[in-house]
Structure 1
Amino acid sequence: MALGETAGAEYLPSNYRFEIEKTIRQIKRRGSKKIALQFPEGIIHLSTVISDIIRCSTEVESVTILSDVVYGACCIDDISSHLIGCDLLVHYGHSCLFEVPKCLVGVVYVFVEVSIDYAHCVDVALKHIDCSNLSVLGTIQYSSVVRGVRKGIEEARTKLLGSAEGEGVPPTEVKIPRVMPLSVGEVLGCTSPKVQTENVLFIAEGRFHLESVMIQNPTRKYYRYCPATKTLKTEQHDYARFLSIRKERQAASRAAKSYTVIFGTLGRQGGMLILQRVLASLVERGAPHTTVYLSEIDNETIASIDKDSAVIEIACPRIAIDWGSTFTLPIITPFEYFTMIQGIEEYPMDYYKKEGRAQPWQMLR
């Protein structure tokens, strides 16, 4: 163990940045005694190691590992942490979405950035992608990799432009788009930036977050680099089919005789301001409706609702987008509800967007 390294940290992956020392400093500074830890599925196997490190390095009375599923940053569970008597929640693997001052307990976010040797990504991108017209994006774990890849591509092409082989090669400015309040280059499954370039290089191990960008920007060319397998793949999304399905669900909801509004209680997935706006709109329309509070939306629950009803889900919009056609009733997002009259022309992924014109379906407005 290196001098100054926290005892036990050697049992954690060396390329994962768990910010152990920062966490310990925060616990000591706040005088926290009862700690809750929250992990996404991909790293929860390391939770007991981190719990032991905290116990051995501080004077806390207890460390509780929350076991409810964590799909994303929206699942931050300060409410459960408060109810079980904790005074500090450490949330791993996601960026800060819900405003910390509004949380019921103190919150520390640890992004868990993953460091990799991104030279291979730069090499394959230069070989297979038109990098003169390129944006680079990724999940929050790879934010430093996104910046490094951009720098590597720009440096390589600048060197090429100064050589004999660079004659006629267009100049390069690799872009890293941003939508507030997310970090530069960060993408969520429900929120992604507008892209102005023809090509997009996305750094992630799966497609879920990339699909958000593809829906937001349906005319771009997409490439996904997987750091785990060191592979570069072209990715496609059938936007026309997707839009057709969502329009059909929206039309079926418009014809419904009543509405069931489901407010998601998993973490902070549900937006109270959105709920208020949806209910006010239903009252104004004179539409019969019922409000239900649920932590999970499943087929059994949907099947128990009156068959002449439609469901408006104020939770993760990807439930309706990805799985909506599998339910027995039409299930729509707040965006699809508020555009029910005029219909959908294009599909924004701006659920957490906090810039530009405010929209009634946005979480932070």
Structure 2
Amino acid sequence: MNYFFDEDKVVEEIKKRNAKKVLLQFPEGLRYFSTEIVSKLEDKIKDVEFIISGEPSWGACDIAEDEAQILGVDLIIHFGHTPYTWYYPKFPTVFIPTESNLKIEEKVIDETKELAKKYNPRKISLSATIQHAKLLPELKEHFTEFEVEIGKPSNPFMLDGQILGCDYKAIPLDVDLHINISGGKFHALGIGLYTGKPVINIDPYSKRAEDLTNEVNKILKIRYSKIMQALDAKTWVIIQGIKVGQNRPLMVKYLEKKLKEKGYKVYVISNKVLNVDTLRNIDRSYIDAYVVTSCPRLPTDDLYNFEKPVLTPGEARMVINNKLEPYIFPW
């Protein structure tokens, strides 16, 4: 395994809480190791029943509280994330960050420096997902030719430089270039949308560095086309998420109030798992635009090709204020 699941910490927490029935929750990508983890835990602790959640889990905002109550478990062990910025589970939950054991090879660092050169940056930021955040101080030592900043996160549970797909508080805005460590493009693209600055992603799994700036610019063009369409919208649907960490009633009320003040018709629809088929089953000819308050990555990543504008809360604010600059992402 390339990850540290910290089974000893899991056993310690189970014993401390005297839990006899435990639900193990894994994000996509880590669930592959779930049966091996159960076998290791069963070797370390007896008389405890383990159940693996097979439901999708997209972050620390998506804790299986309903599932845990239905199954009658005593404790949730949530692997792969630290607690969420705006929400902590009401159900007994232990977060196991599940850090990666991978290192960044010297050749990948050299690739990153070559990609950075074309921007001639004076100051750069370094960031990472929780799996790789402990690599940031070491990586900083390789970029001494630049002024380097590793930002402070939005809550004390997160590490310096750690970001989420919807939380970029650890990203300083007064830099020339952003370098992110994460598997795939997802988090780095979010940094580009949040900052409007060049972004390079270091992927420890593929062992390569990639400049994603052009890809971010392409996404921005798509997003602005959606915003421009929504400027003429008269009938809106606000999607209120009902996953426990994605329910934002105050945001829904704010958007509903502001849209109605402009004389628009507004419908509020609750939803747990949102996709294109869900929208098509809701859609009517008189509905002009949608705004998603559950997860701001849904409009940019999964729903961008829907036939009508599907906006993030930040984009909806741009429409409400009739102000196209600056681009607001995510909230």
TM-score (norm 1): 0.77
AA matched with 1:185: G
**For residues 175-223 of structure 1, what are the alpha-carbon distances to aligned partners after superposition, in whole Å with 9 as ceiling and x for unaligned?**
2123413531112222222343323322122111000111122233x33
Pairing 1:187–2:174 present: no
Q: Distance in 1 between matches of 2:85 and 2:216?
A: 30
Q: Show the 5 A alignment for 1:34-73.
A: 34-59=21-46, 61-73=48-60
Determine helix, strand or coil for the equivalent of 1:74.
coil
Structure 2: runs of 5 or more not aligned: none
AA matched with 2:184: G
> What is the aligned partner in structure 2 of residue 27 from structure 1?
14
**For residues 65-88 of structure 1, what are the alpha-carbon distances to aligned partners after superposition, in whole Å with 9 as ceiling and x for unaligned?**
111112223222223222322221
Determine helix, strand or coil for the equivalent of 2:131.
helix
Q: Distance in 2 between matches of 1:188 and 1:141?
A: 11
Q: Distance in 2 between matches of 1:65 and 1:267?
A: 19
Determine helix, strand or coil for the equivalent of 2:103.
coil
> What is the aligned partner in structure 2 of residue 89 from structure 1?
76
> What is the aligned partner in structure 1 of residue 91 from structure 2?
105
Work out the number of aligned pairs and report it. 320
Check whether the contact 2:24–2:78 (CA below 8 A) recurs between aligned residues: yes
Larger deviation: 324-333 or 54-63?
54-63
> What is the aligned partner in structure 2 of residue 206 from structure 1?
184
Check whether the contact 1:142–1:203 (CA below 8 A) recurs between aligned residues: yes
Pairing 1:328–2:295 present: no
Give the direction of change, closer, same or farther, for the CA distance of 1:212–1:60 in structure 2 (3 Å limit): farther
AA matched with 1:87: D
> What is the aligned partner in structure 1 of residue 280 from structure 2?
303
1:234 is displaced (CA, Å) by: 2.5
Check whether the contact 1:86–1:105 (CA below 8 A) recurs between aligned residues: no
Moved over 4 A (4+): 121-132, 238-241, 282-286
Q: Show the 5 A alignment for 1:1-365.
A: 13=1, 15-59=2-46, 61-97=48-84, 102-118=88-104, 120=106, 121-125=108-112, 129=116, 133-151=123-141, 153=142, 157=144, 172-181=146-155, 182-192=158-168, 193-220=171-198, 222-238=199-215, 241-266=218-243, 268-285=245-262, 287-304=264-281, 305-309=283-287, 310-340=289-319, 341-351=321-331
Q: Distance in 2 between matches of 1:44 and 1:21?
A: 19
Check whether the contact 2:104–2:207 (CA below 8 A) recurs between aligned residues: no
**For residues 289-326 of structure 1, what are the alpha-carbon distances to aligned partners after superposition, in whole Å with 9 as ceiling and x for unaligned?**
33222222222222232122122211221211234441
Q: Distance in 2 between matches of 1:201 and 1:247?
A: 25
Check whether the contact 1:324–1:332 (CA below 8 A) recurs between aligned residues: no
Higher-Rg structure is 1
Determine helix, strand or coil for the equivalent of 1:268.
coil
Check whether the contact 1:303–1:329 (CA below 8 A) recurs between aligned residues: no
Q: Distance in 1 between matches of 2:316 and 2:330?
A: 15
Structure 1: runs of 5 or more not aligned: 1-12, 158-170, 352-365
Larger deviation: 274-283 or 17-26?
274-283
